[in-house]
Structure 1
Amino acid sequence: MEYIRVSSIEDPLFAKLHNLMKEVFPPEEVLEFDLWKEPLEDPGIRVFVAVHEEEVVGVTEYRYYSDWNIAMTDFTIVGKPGHSIGRFLANKRMDDLQSLAAEQGVDLFGMFAEIYDPYRKTDHQFGGVKTMDPFVRREVLSHLGYKRLDLDYVHPSWENDGEAVEGLDLCFMSGNEETNELPGALITDFLTTYYSVLKNKPEKWIKMVDQLKGKETVALLPL
């Protein structure tokens, strides 16, 4: 299996990964094909595919923020069972992030991720791909060391229609397993930067961020 970076919508691998996204994710989670041009060309956004026998069988997108020495996993797709694709992507991603942190002379502090809570919302089919079942994904993140932040989380829809996407948790995997809280300012700064590309922010998201600004720390809870 190969781990290949995709940095242009002209890359034939991009059409394959975009089709895989549409098969797996609900529409509000998938950016339109042409709107990927700038993100793919952004050196801070890292999109890699797992290629097996010339087919894209997995995808991961993530970012590294050197100012905070943190990362964000945008999404991970495991398109087929029985190939250890999830482990392959997680290991390759961490190797890449640790090398980026090493360029700053540090070890990676940690990584954010959003995850659906199927115990609150049960209508996530994800294209019928069982490897992407929300129960499975949630347990995988738990096994990797993620904890959920103690807040009522929403995020702006990637359809940029001003709607709030609910039924998720914002999680964080720390490089130190003893970390049980994060500074509220770090979370606020991260979310404000991460969603700056979306101009139509829902009122629920704005209210959530305003509440975060008033918190010194936010607890990390078991996932």
Structure 2
Amino acid sequence: MDYRRITHIEDKWFASMHRLMQEVFPPEEVLEFELWKEPLEDPGIRVFVAIHEGEVVGATEYRYYDDLQVAMTDFTIIGKPGLGIGRFLYQKRQEDLMSLAAESGKKLVGMFAEIYDPYRAEHHEFGGIKPMDPFVRREVLSHLGYKRLDFPYVHPSWNNDGEAVTGLDLCFLPTDDNVHELPAELIVTFLKRYYSVLSNKPESWHAMIERLEAQETVRLLPL
């Protein structure tokens, strides 16, 4: 299996990846094809596909914020069962992130991720791909060490229509298992930067940020 980075929409593998995203994720979670041009060319956004026998069978997008010493997993797609795609993408992503941190002479503190809560979110089929089932994904990510940040989470729709998307938790995978809370300032700084590309944010998102700004720390709870 090959791990290949995509840096422009003309890449022959990008169309396949985008189709896979549309099959797996709800419409409000997928940027239109043309809108991917700038993100793919952004050196801070790392988009990789897993290629098996000439076919895109998985993909992941993530970012590393050198000044914050944290990363963010935008998405991970497992397109087929029985190929070990999830483990492959996880290992390759970790190797890449550790390399980026080493280059800057800093230590990776951990990685954020938005994770569906299947117990309260709308039902998502995720293209009928069983490894993408939200119950399965949540348990796998818990096994990896992700923990839920203790506050009600909403995020702006990627349609940039001002709608709030709920049914997810903001989670964090600390590099140090002994870390049980995060500075609220770190979370606020990260969220403001991550969603800076969306100009039309819902009021509930701004209210969430204001509540976080009034706190010193946020607990990490079991997922």
Q: TM-score w.r.t. structure 1 length?
A: 0.99
Secondary structure of the structure 2 residue equivalent to 1:46: strand
Q: What's 2:34 paired with?
A: 34
In structure 2, the partner of 1:157 is: 157
Q: 3-state SS of the aligned residue for 1:111?
A: strand
In the TM superposition, residue 122 of structure 1 has moved relative to its aligned partner by 4.4
> Which string of whole-angstrom CA distances, capped at 9 and with x for unpartnered residues, describes residues 137-179 of structure 1?
1011101110000000000001111000001000000000010
Q: Following superposition of structure 1 onto structure 2, how do residues 72-221 of structure 1 map, counting pairs within 5 Å?
A: 72-221=72-221
- Report the aligned-residue RMSD: 0.6
- State the 1:110 CA deviation: 0.3
Question: 1:118 and 1:37 mapped to 2: Cα distance?
Answer: 32
**Alpha-carbon distance in structure 2 between the residues aligned to 1:10 and 1:198:** 24
SS at match of 1:12: coil
Instruction: Report SS of the residue matched to 1:40.
Output: helix
Instruction: Tell me, in whole angstroms, the C-alpha distance in 2 between the residues paired with 1:183 and 1:121.
Output: 27
2: CA distance between counterparts of 1:150 and 1:126? 26
1:79-107 Cα distance to aligned partner (Å, 9 max, x none):
00000000000000000000000011122
Structure 2 stretches lacking a partner, 5+ long: none
Runs of 4+ in 1 over 6 A off after TM superposition: none
Distance of 1:191 and 1:108 partners within structure 2:
18
Partner of 2:10: 10
Deviations 1:165-194 (A, max 9, x none): 001000000000010000000000000000
1:48 aligned residue: 48
Does the CA contact (< 8 Å) of 2:50 and 2:56 recur in 1? yes
Distance in 1, matches of 2:54 and 2:46, equals 20
CA–CA distance in 1 between the matches of 2:74 and 2:44? 12
Residue ranges of structure 1 left out of the alignment (5+ in a row): none
CA distance in 1, matches of 2:114, 2:80: 22
Q: Distance in 2 between matches of 1:51 and 1:206?
A: 40
The aligned amino acid for 1:154 is V
State the TM-score, normalizing by the size of structure 2.
0.99
Secondary structure of the structure 2 residue equivalent to 1:31: coil
